[in-house]
Chain A
Amino acid sequence: MRISTIAYIFKQGFKNIWRNLRFSLASIATMAACIFLFGVFLSLVMNFNNIVHAAEEGIAVVVYFDTGTKQEQIDQIGNDIEKQPGVADINYVSADEAWESFKDVYLEGEDESMEGAFKSNDNPLANSARYEVYLDDVEQQDTLVKYIEGLDGVRKVEKSEVAANTLSSFNRLMAYVSLAIVVILLAVAFFLIYNTITMGISVRQEEIGIMKLIGATDFFVRSPFVIEGILLGVIGAAIPLGILYGVYERVINYIVTKFHMLGSFLQFLSVNDVFRWLLPVGIGLGVGIGFFGSIFSVRKHLKV
Chain B
Amino acid sequence: MIDLRDVSKSYSKGHPAISHMNLHVEKGEFVFIVGNSGSGKSTLIKLLLKELDPTSGTITVNGQRLNKMRRRKVAKYRRGIGVVFQDFRLLKDRNVYENVAFAQRVIERPTRIIKKRVPEMLTLVGLAEKYKSKPDQLSGGEQQRVALARALVNRPNLLLADEPTGNLDPKNSFEIMKLLEEINQRGTTVLVVTHNREIVNAFRKRVITMKKGVIVSDEQEGEYLNEN
Contacts and interface: CB of A to CB of B under 8 A. Distances in A.
A82 to B, nearest CB: 69
Interface stretch (A59-67, A170-178, A208-216): A208-216
B25 interface: no
A2 interface: yes
Contacts, number: 62
Given A213-B51, A214-B150, A4 B109 contact: yes
Interface in A1-31: 1-5, 7-8, 19
A210 B107 contact: no
B91 A210 contact: yes
A2 B80 CA distance: 19
Interface residues of B, number: 28
Contacts of B106: 211, 214-217, 220
B227 interface: no
B204 interface: no
A115 interface: no
Nearest to B46: A213
Residue of B72, B93, B150 with highest tally of chain A CB at under 10 A: B93
B191 interface: no
Contacts of A212: 75, 78
B78 A210 contact: no
B102 A214 contact: yes
Interface string B64-87: 000000001001111111010100
Nearest to A12: B105
Contacts of B79: 214-215
Contact of A4 (B81, B83, B110): B110
Contacts of A211: 91, 102, 106
Nearest to B90: A210
A115 to B, nearest CB: 94
Contacts of A218: 72, 75
B98 to A, nearest CB: 10
B75 A217 contact: yes
Contact of A214 (B72, B76, B78): B78
A7 B111 contact: yes
Contact of A1 (B51, B78, B92, B108): B108
Interface in B105-143: 105-111, 114
Given A207-B91, A212-B75, A214-B150, A8 B105 contact: yes
A7 B111 CA distance: 10
Interface of A: 1-5, 7-8, 19, 206-207, 210-218, 220
7 closest residue pairs by CB, A with B: A215-B79, A215-B78, A4-B111, A217-B75, A4-B110, A210-B89, A216-B106
9 contacts: A207-B91, A210-B91, A213-B85, A215-B75, A215-B77, A215-B79, A215-B81, A217-B72, A220-B106
